Amino acid sequence: MELTGRRALVTGAGSGIGRACADTLATHGAEVIVQDIDPARVSQAVAEIEAAGHAARALACDVADEAALKAAVADAGPVHILVNNAGVAGNNAPLEEIDRAAFDRMMNTHVWGAHAAMRACIAGMKEARWGRIVNIGSNRGQVGFERSSHYCAAKAALIAMAKAWAREFAPWGILANAIAPGVTRTAMTLAYGEQAVDEEARENLLSRAASPEEIAAWVAVLCGPTGDFMTGQLLCPNGGDPIVGI
């Protein structure tokens, strides 16, 4: 239980990758603040984590609500681990269908939401001189996609923010990294239909979608002692879609 004594805030933790991250960090001993905009999903996640013998707190709010995030952290105590996972789907929208409202919602949730969560948590991390930040990006934030350009931009921003925070907060022993999953079988992706998920999965080398738990396992690696020399990096559990870099 290498995270015993640590407190984690996981945004968008009511379902999908966020829920798997909350479950995994709790299993490793962390007290988890479960944030999601849906109160019912928050309540269910907290109840199930506690039923498994682990510690969890509920935070039902919009991730862009900085005041609510700060109030929750003030009530719970210092947060040592932040997983910026909250997001909304791009709906495979072409440029002409991405109006200002859709663009702002995308950026408010992914980018400002991560920024607001950081502002809520960073003082406690600095005081402890220990912190772990993991931004959940996407392979589409690396190589783009022919639709949903606002989603691609938001995910690319999360990757860049993690790199910048790694530089900014290293003097306090705070490590920041990002993960760029490939297609993952979640309620959000399945909203496009099983066929769409299967078609995208066939584009990777393993010809399958990831499970949320496979992504959460990498979050645990970055937050635990095995990740103590990793910062400013992007990990890509994507089944080989894409292969980039040298």
Q: What tokens appear for 110 in the block?
A: 């992914």
Using one digit for the tens of pLDDT, what is the confidence trace for 110-131? 999 999 999 999 999 999 999 9
Residue 242 preceded by cis peptide, ω within 30? yes
pTM of the shown model: 0.96
The kind and range of the H/E element at 59 are strand 56-60
pLDDT of residue 131: 98
Identify which of 223, 197, 155, 212 has the alpha carbon closest to the alpha carbon of residue 17. 212
pLDDT at 42 over 80: yes
pLDDT of residue 192: 87
Using one digit for the tens of pLDDT, what is the confidence trace for 95-112? 999 999 999 999 999 999
Rounded Cα distance, 32 and 56, in Å: 5
pLDDT at 245 over 90: no
Identify which of 121, 90, 81 has the alpha carbon closest to the alpha carbon of residue 216. 81
Query: How many C-beta atoms surround the C-beta of residue 81 within 10 A?
Result: 29
Residue 11 C-alpha from the chain's centroid:
7
pLDDT of residue 1: 82
The active-site residue out of 137, 151, 153, 218 is 151
pLDDT at 133 over 90: yes
pLDDT band at 246 (very low <50, low <70, confident <90, very high): confident
Distances (CA, A) of 186 to 65, 191, 196: 25, 9, 12
Using one digit for the tens of pLDDT, what is the confidence trace for 162-190? 999 999 999 999 999 999 999 999 988 99
Torsion of CA 101, 107, 110, 115, to 10 degrees: -130
The kind and range of the H/E element at 31 are strand 31-36
CB 14 within 8 A of CB 38: yes
Using one digit for the tens of pLDDT, what is the confidence trace for 71-83? 999 999 999 999 9
- Spell out the residues 6+ positions from residue 88 whose beta carbon is closer than 8 angstroms to its own: 105, 106, 109, 110
DSSP state of 184: B
Rounded Cα distance, 223 and 227, in Å: 6
The class level of CATH for 7-235 reads alpha beta
Whether 151 is catalytic: yes
